[in-house]
Amino acid sequence: MLNSANNNFVQHAQVVSTSTEGNMNGYNRKSPQKRRYDMPKYAVPPKKKSGKERVPQPKNTVAMLNELRHGLIYKLESQTGPVHAPLFTISVEVDGQKYMGQGRSKKVARIEAAATALRSFIQFKDGAVLSPLKPAGNLDFTSDEHLENGIENVSKAELVELIYTLMLPEKKSNLTSLEQSTLRPQIFCMSHNATKSTIAVDGQKKVPDKGPVMLLYELFNDVNFECMNIDGAQNNCRFKMTVTINDKKFDGTGPSKKLAKNAAAKAALASLCNISYSPMMAPQKNAPLPIDEKSSSMELPQIHADTIGRLVLEKFMEVIKGQEAYSRRKVLAGIVMTENMNFCEAKVISVSTGTKCVSGEHMSVNGAVLNDSHAEIVSRRCLLKYLYAQLDLQCNQATAYQSIFVRNTDGQYPYKLKSGVHFHLYINTAPCGDARIFSPHENDTGVDKHPNRKARGQLRTKIESGEGTIPVKSSDGIQTWDGVLQGQRLLTMSCSDKIARWNIVGIQGSLLSAIIEPVYLHSIVLGSLLHPEHMYRAVCGRIEKSIQGLPPPYHLNKPRLALVTSAEPRNQAKAPNFGINWTIGDTELEVVNSLTGRTIGGQVSRITKQAFFDKYGFLMKNLPGMPNRKVTKDYGETKADVKDYQTAKQELFSAFKREDLGSWLKKPIEQDQFGLVE
């Protein structure tokens, strides 16, 4: 019995073992088959649909309503019904009216509430199209009227219909590509301009929330990017991307393809939709830029800024041909002139490069050297040369009509600029001094973290034969001729300080101030390193509260500011000791040794004090309508006789002192003690 039981137990165990083994083997055999069967479902990703197969979904009523009315708040009014089948009631207030919606979920109830609100001023037609309840003349998409007259003539109800029509894929197909590409950006711009809260932060425009490339793809269907070329070495290359939209091309450059693509998209948006990504658009909330009485902001339109930068760069490449050895530069500047802000016919007046100042041992007692060869300062001196040439035209009745100046019959100055003439300064980087020494990416715009050290706004000086600036001492600094010759460094005020001076006394200089009304810069465009608050403070903001008593028509000028979309690359190379200058009308380039202040051939430059004093003497003798034609004094005394200019200049110096920003350093007086060449 025991053996029989044991045998049965063993047999039963063998059966169980065999059954289990069979099941395990069966499981092992079936499991791989199942995995092999399911493998493609998980391991192989589904094929992506091509752009042609992808069908965009229309936006729901909540998204639609939020685009038409910003800042809406949806409230849960009630929840009824059993727990397993609740009924939610949600409300939304639009234009002071409350609209209700119900649904089995809060999301559905919100959609219904938004649909109810939309039906209050638009209604669904044939289940797809929204049309006005009170039609004011439907827009015919087959006509060209909307293309000729612009979107401004479309009523608000029609605008809603256009927006919704463009959002629906089945209706979008009924429009031609031209109508889509024309209406879409116009509607976008109108919908963004309709509500101030969407474009304003403390009265200032703000940068769009979306990136430029994404926004461009949303506004236009036919967008094609292409990498045109790559310049420079592998570790410091520049990419150039071109975007084509409706047969229009826009370029952008950058240190990577992504940044170059962004720059091209920004240029396209600025030109086609007047959408700007400039840092001027969104200043920090705690210290917004002031708004003047003539404009809603200090920003120059982006399309104008890009035009100015492009014109100066193109002119530089044109004039440097044949002398490529002198194309090496660290700072490039130029001045562009427009009439009635017509940038299609803008003229480049001057182009210059340079970053150095004259060495003290090369100072001149007869005004024969250039003391400051920084690019923006040289461009302004080239502009002076142009102004003298334009006044020369007034000396001959046959050419007087060609001049940008006209006789001033009702003022104290014999001549003034024609109405609508504006000058725009371009610099490829922030001017040295107060505008550049602080980080361009700095977000802290409050009080300096070191209250005992007043750094921001301080007057600063350049160092001879070198780069960079240092703060001036608060005491009256006097530079002497013999001190400099014995080894004391010759100091020159920084470019930021000189631009601030131009915004008080004008860019025409003291000699021309005896002949013409003050001339001010309309805008300053930078190629890189634009920090709105630092730049504004440097060129005009630091003295705006303390400047007073300026003799009319002198005043504090606040130039428009802007940054080009394709930022200038950072140049790490050592700055050359030469600079070039060119003025409209010149037949050839002039190359100046920055350390000696003379041309590389040792000649006197055409934009020195000596050259301008000679031109001034000629004008005083030959210009019609001049009350006093005698020039018997030396250069320094002649400048001192222009009383209103000197009053404005002294008031500028006093304003800096009142703000405790330092004292303006002057060159040794011996530099100006020379007379006219006989």
Distances from the Cα of 359 to the Cαs of 390, 595, 635, 664, in angstroms? 33, 5, 22, 20
CB 582 within 8 A of CB 347: no
| DSSP strand pairing (347-353 vs 405-407) | unpaired
Instruction: Indicate the SS3 state at residue 512.
Output: helix
Other C-beta atoms within 10 Å of 80: how many?
Answer: 10
What separation, in Å, do the N-terminal and C-terminal C-alpha atoms of the chain show? 148
Q: What share of the chain is helix, strand, coil (3-state, %, to 5)?
A: 40, 20, 45
Tell me the C-alpha distance between 612 and 594, whole Å. Answer: 19
- Cis? peptide before 532, omega within 30° of 0: no
- Amino acid identity, residue 374? H
CB 489 within 8 A of CB 361: no
**Largest Cα–Cα distance of the chain, in whole Å?**
150
Closest C-alpha to 278, from 307, 252, 312, 303: 303
Burial (0-12, 13-18, 19+ Cβ within 10 Å), 417: buried
Tell me the C-alpha distance between 578 and 331, whole Å. Answer: 11
Tell me the C-alpha distance between 428 and 431, whole Å. Answer: 9
- Per residue, the 3-state secondary structure of 146-167, as one string, reads HHHHCHHHCCHHHHHHHHHHHH
- Among residues 376, 464, 517, 533, the one annotated as catalytic is 376
Tell me the C-alpha distance between 586 and 344, whole Å. Answer: 22
Residue 339 annotated to the active site? no
Catalytic positions, written as ranges:
376
